[in-house]
Structure formats: structure tokens, C-alpha cells
Amino acid sequence: MATLEKIISHFVFFLLCLLTFLLIFEAQVTIPFWLQPLGRMHPLMLHFPIVLIVLLVFLDLFRSHLEPASYEKIRKALLGFTAVTTSAAAIMGFFLSLEEDSTSSLMDLHKWIGVSVSYLVYLLLLIDKKILWYKITLYTSFVTLFFAGHFGAGLTHGTDFLTEPIARAQKKKITEATPIFEAFVDPILEAKCKSCHNAQKHKGALDMSTFALMNKGGENGPIWVEGNTAESELIIRALLPLEHEDHMPPEGKSQLSASELALLKSWIGAGADPEVSLKQLNPADSLFMLANQRMKSMEEEAPKARNDFDFASEELVSSLNNPYRTVTQETPLSPALDVNIYVKTAYKPEYLTELKKVKDQIVSLNLAYMPIKDEDMNIIANFGNLEELKLNNTEVSNAALTYLKNCTRLESLSLSGTAVDIGISEHLGALPAIKDVYLWNTGIDDGELTDLKNQWPEISFYHGYSANQESPIRLTAPLLKNKNKILAQGEKVVLEHKMPGVSIRYTTDGSDPDSISSALYESPIEVQSFTSVKTIAYKEGWLTSEARVYEFFVEGQPPVTAELINSPHNKYKGKGATSLIDLEKGNATGFNSKSWLGYQDKPLAVWVDFGENPPTLKQLVLSYGMNMGQYIMPPVQVEVWGGNDRQNIKLLKRIVPNQPAEYQPDGVMGIAMPMPASDFRYYQVKAFPMKKLPAWHSGKGEPGWVFVDELFFY
């Protein structure tokens, strides 16, 4: 007998070492599938310790009634049996716990209490002789066992399992006959008001614990006036601005939502009757609608079973993957496969047919944009565990749904952008699990959608955005296709708008284009020297775009060299005089670039040399930048002088450009300077910056800048 005892004690010690190890390295432990049945025997095994420990307690209680020798024999045998089964149950429980994806606090509680029972029982085995310690440990084990059992039962049956029948008896099911006050109004007040206005704590002398007390009101009188929301204190206060002292619930507390407030208002408006129920109301009544909506949202979803099928082999899954089809097992714990097929032009029918090899594992399938037809649904009909199917922008029609009746778990079906219409209504009944249907951009209009919703109240239909709800919005301006703002001789201006059906009109004289009389853009526009093209886009059902201005400079006669007379500001030297004749345009956001020369305290002055055989010229165009926020203004005066030697030149043209009277958008502009036809070798060009910025400018009185990037001669 002593040997058997020893063996048992050793065996239990061994089991506990194993358990301890497993607990310490829990994160790294994986349970092979063949061990899982062992874990699932936990519910069977755990009844042994429960019974045996209770027996040990009884044995201890009736100790005096037994002969010491037989008592000891029975106790030893029982204790050994208890110890073995307790630690075995603990290990099995541990295995079982690993099968869960996530741990809950209840599970943790049960686990650690269960584990302590097994250690305690081993302790019992060890202390054996010392009666007092034995008793203490035994009764501790008993109490611990009770809690382990209780929490364990909570895991399998739910925490409210014990109290449920009582709660169920108390909480009547809400039906159409339940008074609206009891079903919907009181719960709102309970959640939002009663934490301060209850039987124990009545702020403002208001106790809302019963309807009668509510009706009585508080120190400021009754909280509602039957049938008159405008004078009901409860509504008035809820509608006050949040920061108002009298606003209820007070700032910082959970506020009434819009729907809750609507329901309260409607109920008070209807007479604040504590007995009125949905059944007594007219369905067109606003109270009926609000209460009905609330009732629907309270109906809970049933929990779903999933992933109760086998894993597909790793080789099979990887063989199904190719650049255009991804088959993924999302987590190592679940056999569910997620399949996506991409790139329409690369699609082959076998991409779908080959999926039959994993027909049981496919849970989610995305075929959006693929050339899938109704007949292809034959294949999808085999996927019995499919939960989510996306057929957006495929070629399917209503008939596709008839194939899906075998997909008994299909919950979500996306049909946006397909040819389906209201006819799907009759097929929806064949899909037992369907919850969400996406129908944006299909043949179903808003009215038909309402019919669908009425016919299938348990399904959520998503219709998304429809343009009718909105007033027209503004189009964007036409875009310019030309890459370069300097056009070669003969090059034309090309405008475009990406929106189909848009008309473009434009002007070239600086006036604002309109959608009636201005030139209609039909073919590229011819331009000369400096032209600013002002353009708009319009289309029926849209607001006409804002006008957009594009400036163009046509390539002129190239000078041979240029030489600066005044050097530009140190920070804006560009490439020196070359910047002015290199046919590179600057832009109005980057005045630091090599294209620009910037002047502030002196004017730009430059010699331009046309060499030995000067051409005949009639016009100069000076291109300047504008960025008023950065004090960069148009020049106040521009002059062009000409002559055949540098000492002997005469003024050909002077222009004083109009100065802006308010902020204008940034841009690159041109000033055209017509001059008498001449064939001089040398020209001198001057452009003067503004000495003092005008009064409307934020930098009034400070000096302005002038930035020039190019000179064109024609």
C-alpha cells in the first residue's frame, strides 16, 4: 500500500511539474491536434475532483464515527485519487483554454483558481499527518473548488446563467403591447437622469424612481407638461446650450442623443401617457415610428458558429496563389480562406474553377471588376461556407442570386455597379443568413429601395450616395495640356476637361468669359506674342467653373547676348543676364529659381545685343512675376531704348502699367511694348520696382520688388 501511495504522490508531482512548466511558457505552447481531444475531456474529468473533495470533507466531518484505521485507509485512497484527477483536470483545462482565440478575464480567473486547487490538493497529500494543517488546507481547497466550479460554469453557460430565470421573469419581453414608457422612455431616463435623481439622491428635490414621483416633479415644479413639449422643463433644459448652467444632463455627463431626445419629445407631446403602447398607436404617428425604430435596434443578433471545417493543406493554398489571385489563410488558428482576384485584363476562367479545390474553406471571395457572368455562379454555389461575396462591377444580373441558395452562411453580398434591379427581391428569400446587401449604382432607385427595405426588414441594404440629394456644385476650370508656357512659333494652345460632356469657352482679351457669347473651344487656339487665355467650363446640372487664366509667350527673335547694367539683389541673381534670354520660364511660387532676376532698390536695366545682322523688330514682351503677399508687384514703369551703338540710343517706347488696387492672385504676366519697326543692333530695357507699396497693402510704405524672367522680341 505504501508503494502505491508513493507512486501516486510521485505521479502527481510529475503532473504538477508539467503543469507549472506549461503555465510559465504558455505563450510558446502549441497544442497539436491529436492532443486537443484530451483538452476537451476537461469537462468530464473535472467532476472527479468536485465529488472527491466533497467526499473528503464529509469524511472529515464524520471522522469520529469511524474507526481510526479504516478512516485512514479510506482517506488515503480517496486523497490519492483526488490528487491525480485534480491535476489531470487542471492540465486538460489548460489544453482546452489554448483552443480559444482570446482569453477573457473570466477564463483567467477560472484558470488560476483551478490551478490553485490542484496545488492545494498536492499539499494535502504532503501534510498528511498534521491534523490542523490538514483541516485548514482541506477546507481551503473546498472553498477554492467552489469558486473554480462556479467560474467554470460561467464560461460554458454564461455568467448570468444562474440568475437568468429570475432576470427573465423580471424583465418582460418587449412587445407591441408593452407600454412605451416602460419599454423605451424609462430606460433612457434610467441611463441619463436617474444617477442624480433617484430615491437615495434627489438633486433639485427631484426623485425619478417611479412614474408617480416623476409626475410630481422637483423643486422647480413638474418636469413635463402633458402634450406640451415647449413648456416641459425636461425638454427645455435638454435643448439649452451645453454650457448653459441649467442644461440637463449637466456638462460632462452622458448627454441625450438626438434619437433619444426625439423619442422623449414625441412621448411627452403625445400626452406623457405611461400606458400608451405601440399597439394603440397609428403607424403614421411619429411616436410610433420612433418607438418602432428603437425596438428594432434593440433586437440582438444571434451569435454565429464559424470555422467548423478542416484546414486546407499549406501546399494546396500556396499552389493556388498566383500574381492575379491571392488565396490567404488570414490567421494560423483558423482554416478560413480569403480569396481575391485582381486585374481584369489578366483574368482567366480557371482562376475561379480551380477554387473548387478549397470550396469548403473559402469564407470571403472578392471578384470585383472581373468579367463574371451569371453562369459562373455555378462554381460559387459550391462554396458552402462562404460568408462574404463581392461582385461589384461584374457582369452578373438578378439570376446570379438563384445560384447562391447553397451558400447557407452568406451574410454579406456586394452588388454595387452591377445590372441587378428590383427583381432581386424575389431571390433574397433563398439566402437564409443574408444580413447586408450593397446595391449602390444599380438599377434600383430610391423608391424601389424603400420597397425592398419594407419587404426584407431584417436585411440592411446600402444604397450609398445618390446625386439627387444635392444642389449643383461647381465644376473645375479647364486644364491646360501644353507643358511649356513658351510656345514655339505656330504652336497652339490645347485645353481639356476630364469630365465627359463639358463645354469650354474662352476669351483672349482679358475679359471674363461667359457660357453664351464667348468663343467655344473646339480646336486648339492660335496665339501671338503674349496672350492670356481666360477660360471656363460648364455643363448642365453643374455650376459653371471659375475662370482660369493661362498666360502664353511665343518664342521671339533670339538675341545674341545680353548684359546687365544694374546687378539684381544678391539673393535673386538667377543666371545673370542669360536668365532673360534662355527661354526658361519661372513660376510664381519659386522666385529663388535660376529663372528669375529680382530688383528692389534699383531698376532692372539690361543691354540686349542682336549682333551684326539685326532683324527687324516691332514689339517687345517683358515677362514679370506677381506675388503680392511677398511684395512682388508689377513694374511701375517699363522703357525700351534702341540704337546701333551703345552711346547713341533713343527711347522707343515707355509704358506705365496700371497698378492693381487690391490683392490679386499670384502669376506670371507679360507686358507687350509695341515699338516703331526698327533694326537696331542694341536695345536697352528698363523696368522700375515700386518705391512705396500702396495704402491697401499690408506692407504699405515699404519698397516693392520687381521680378523679371524673360524678354521676347518680335
Q: In terms of Cα–Cα distance, which of 369, 427, 356 is closest to 396? A: 369
Which residues, 10 to 29, sit near another protein by CB under 8 A? 10-11, 13-22, 25, 27-29
With CB under 8 A as the rule, give the number of residues binding another protein: 82
Which residues, 379 to 398, sit near another protein by CB under 8 A? 388, 390, 392
Beta carbon nearer to another protein, 289 or 672? 289
583 binds another protein (CB under 8 A): no
Angle (nearest 5°) at CA 200 between 196 and 202: 45
Using CB under 8 A, which of 464, 540, 613, 647 touches another protein? 464
Using CB under 8 A, which of 475, 487, 633, 711 touches another protein? 475
35 binds another protein (CB under 8 A): yes
Radius of gyration of the chain from its Cα atoms, rounded to whole angstroms: 43
- What are the strands, taking DSSP E only, across 285-359? 325-329, 337-341
Terminus-to-terminus CA distance in the chain, angstroms?
A: 122
136 binds another protein (CB under 8 A): no
Region near another protein per CB under 8 A, out of 265-273, 338-346, 420-428, 682-690: 338-346
436 binds another protein (CB under 8 A): yes
Helices (H), 243-327: 258-269, 286-298, 314-320
How near is the Cβ of 368 to another protein at its closest, in Å? 7
C-alpha cell read off for 516 = 453664351
326 binds another protein (CB under 8 A): yes
How near is the Cβ of 16 to another protein at its closest, in Å? 7
Beta carbon nearer to another protein, 416 or 531? 416
Which residues, 68 to 107, sit near another protein by CB under 8 A? 101-102
Beta carbon nearer to another protein, 241 or 303? 241
Region near another protein per CB under 8 A, out of 39-47, 159-167, 178-186, 498-506: 498-506
CB atoms within 10 A of CB 455: 12
C-alpha cell read off for 364 = 470571403
Beta carbon nearer to another protein, 323 or 447? 323
Which residues, 611 to 670, sit near another protein by CB under 8 A? none
Beta carbon nearer to another protein, 547 or 564? 547
Cβ distance 666 to 627 under 8 Å? yes
Region near another protein per CB under 8 A, out of 31-39, 172-180, 508-516, 615-623: 31-39
Cβ distance 689 to 633 under 8 Å? yes
* Count of helix runs (H) and strand runs (E) in the chain: 18, 26
Tell me how far apart the alpha carbons of residues 19 and 31 are, in angstroms, rounded to a whole number: 14
In which residue are the cell numbers 542682336 written?
610
Tell me how far apart the alpha carbons of residues 9 and 99 are, in angstroms, rounded to a whole number: 30
Tell me how far apart the alpha carbons of residues 301 and 435 are, in angstroms, rounded to a whole number: 10
Cβ distance 428 to 434 under 8 Å? yes
259 binds another protein (CB under 8 A): yes
CB atoms within 10 A of CB 53: 25
Beta carbon nearer to another protein, 142 or 324? 324
Tell me how far apart the alpha carbons of residues 657 and 621 are, in angstroms, rounded to a whole number: 13
Beta carbon nearer to another protein, 259 or 561? 259
Beta carbon nearer to another protein, 330 or 451? 330
Tell me how far apart the alpha carbons of residues 649 and 279 are, in angstroms, rounded to a whole number: 102
How near is the Cβ of 338 to another protein at its closest, in Å? 8
Buried b (16+ CB within 10 A) or exposed e, 298-310: eeeeeeeeeeeee
Beta carbon nearer to another protein, 475 or 706? 475
345 binds another protein (CB under 8 A): yes
Which residues, 392 to 431, sit near another protein by CB under 8 A? 392, 412-414, 416-417
Buried b (16+ CB within 10 A) or exposed e, 466-487: eeeeeeeeebebbebeeeebbb
466 binds another protein (CB under 8 A): yes
Beta carbon nearer to another protein, 62 or 462? 462
Using CB under 8 A, which of 223, 312, 368, 377 touches another protein? 368
In which residue are the cell numbers 415647449 written?
230
544 binds another protein (CB under 8 A): no
119 binds another protein (CB under 8 A): no
Using CB under 8 A, which of 67, 68, 132, 241 touches another protein? 241
How near is the Cβ of 350 to another protein at its closest, in Å? 18
Residue 690, CA distances (Å) to 119, 162, 656 in order: 93, 89, 12
Using CB under 8 A, which of 243, 245, 300, 645 touches another protein? 243
570 binds another protein (CB under 8 A): no
